[in-house]
């Protein structure tokens, strides 16, 4: 039987979305262990040093640290690192440290970044050298922890003998643009890198992490060289996880929406710069995964609309409903998949799934911008320009 245009459409439309749906469900199941974990910490749990880097975070740093100090883990201290801030971040951190003996404020001067280091890597390196805990817990300054976040993460690490654990936090969205764009952008990154394979010890070549929430056993951190080993990596969290897996440490990346929230990007400019950093940095500036996602969106999304027109023509002229049935399957699988992505993100409107042509267009634009960053290596992040060193 000859291959027909309808067969091609069935592959790039309904079948593509069906396989993606199945793959996502399997990956989500692999990453959901933390939400099912119910054991508590031992009576004498290990100590934890919580490290929070902050650069010009004056307006929001209090909220982060208040949530950190509310953790129900009985043995922790907090090291805040003022990373060359030009606002009042340093004074705020000093004030918190003066009021709470668990908090120590460390300051990096404006000229304190050594050559060859990226700022966040250096800040965490400086903080880790002053940490006394058996475990190190890296938390970004735009993260809000639930009170049991640390104890839940540490208990599963101890119970399952994990050396490091990172979670995908829930997205805190304040605007319609954030609710509309951030869930599919995050899902695209997870799919692009098959992040659930991080949890397969037999796959040392596959690793991913979220530096917003990263718990690691101190001994493992030091043995792989700490942040000095990834000092020039724009996605240092992913590189740290890869390094740990290459040394045969047991690491995990779990869904953790019930433990922490993060507000990532509030406008399109931030989304373009932020996701370009993530999309280009995670694959080490290799473009193939980005190209694959662009191809998928261009075909699996936009093939629906000419197919609907052709299906109407075939039905009207030849009374052939097969194209209409195929289009209906395509539409149901595509919008159903997006509806689940919005539902899983928490707080986003499921009706946004009906606006997928707009979503896909913006995503393709961001992905094309990411391809440019793969080529140049020049990244703009938090008003700082990062560029690869010039070859001599």
CA nearest to 47, candidates 172, 218, 221, 191: 218
CB-based burial label for 111 (10 Å; 0-12, 13-18, 19+): exposed
Give the pLDDT of residue 376.
87
CB 154 within 8 A of CB 41: yes
CA nearest to 274, candidates 358, 341, 182, 198: 182
CA nearest to 184, candidates 360, 320, 347: 360
- CA atoms in the 13 A half-sphere facing the CB of 323: 23
User: Cα-Cα-Cα-Cα dihedral of 321, 325, 327, 333, to 10°?
Assistant: 180
Global pTM reads 0.92
Give the position of tokens 């199945």: 22
CA distance linking residue 70 with residue 304, whole number of Å = 50
CA distance linking residue 163 with residue 199, whole number of Å = 12
- Angle between the N-to-C axes of helices 89-99 and 61-69, in degrees from 0 to 180, rounded to the nearest 10: 20
| Residue 49 CA: distances (Å) to CA of 85, 139, 211 | 22, 11, 15
- What single DSSP character describes residue 3? -
CA nearest to 44, candidates 130, 158, 145, 127: 158
Give the pLDDT of residue 58.
87
Give the pLDDT of residue 392.
35
Where on the phi/psi map is residue 248: left (φ > 0), alpha (ψ -120 to 50), or beta? Answer: left
Burial 348-368 (b: 16+ CB within 10 A, else e): beeebbeebeebbebbbebbe
Give the pLDDT of residue 381.
61
Hey, what are 103's tokens? 């908090």
User: For the chain, which ranges sit under pLDDT 50?
Assistant: 390-392
Hey, what are 119's tokens? 């700022």
Strand partners for 81: 53, 106
Give the pLDDT of residue 378.
77
């Amino acid at each position: 039987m000859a291959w027909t245009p309808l067969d091609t459409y069935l592959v790039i439309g309904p079948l593509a979305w069906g396989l993606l749906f199945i793959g996502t469900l399997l990956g989500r199941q692999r990453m959901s262990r933390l939400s099912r974990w119910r054991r508590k910490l031992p009576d004498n749990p290990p100590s934890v040093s919580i490290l929070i880097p902050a650069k010009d975070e004056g307006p929001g740093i209090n909220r982060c640290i208040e949530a950190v100090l509310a953790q129900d883990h009985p043995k922790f201290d907090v090291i805040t690192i003022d990373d060359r801030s030009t606002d009042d971040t340093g004074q705020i951190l000093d004030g918190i440290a003066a009021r709470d003996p668990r908090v120590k404020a460390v300051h990096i001067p404006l000229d304190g970044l050594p050559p060859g280091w990226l700022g966040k890597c250096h800040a965490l390196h400086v903080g880790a050298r002053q940490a006394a805990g058996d475990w190190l817990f890296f938390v970004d300054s735009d993260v809000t922890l639930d009170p049991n976040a640390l104890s839940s993460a540490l208990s599963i690490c101890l119970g399952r003998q994990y050396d490091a654990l990172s979670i995908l936090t829930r997205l805190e969205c304040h605007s319609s643009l954030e609710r509309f764009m951030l869930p599919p952008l995050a899902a695209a990154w997870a799919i692009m890198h098959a992040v659930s394979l991080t949890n397969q010890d037999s796959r040392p070549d596959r690793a991913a992490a979220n530096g917003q929430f990263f718990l690691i056993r101190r001994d493992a951190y030091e043995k792989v060289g700490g942040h000095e080993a990834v000092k020039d990596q724009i996605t240092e969290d992913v590189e740290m996880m890869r390094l740990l897996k290459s040394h045969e440490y047991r690491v995990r990346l779990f869904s953790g929406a019930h433990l922490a929230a993060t507000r990532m990007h509030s406008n399109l400019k931030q989304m373009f710069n932020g996701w370009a950093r993530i999309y280009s940095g995670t694959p080490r500036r290799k473009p193939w995964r980005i190209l694959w996602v662009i191809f998928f969106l261009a075909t699996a999304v936009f093939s629906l609309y000419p197919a609907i027109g052709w299906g109407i023509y075939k039905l009207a002229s030849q009374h052939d409903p097969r194209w209409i049935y195929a289009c209906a399957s395509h539409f149901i699988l595509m919008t159903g998949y997006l509806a689940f992505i919005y539902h899983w993100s928490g707080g986003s409107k499921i009706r946004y799934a009906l606006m997928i042509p707009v979503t896909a267009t913006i995503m393709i634009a961001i992905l094309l911008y990411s391809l440019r960053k793969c080529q140049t290596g020049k990244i703009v992040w938090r008003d700082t320009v990062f560029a690869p060193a010039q070859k001599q």
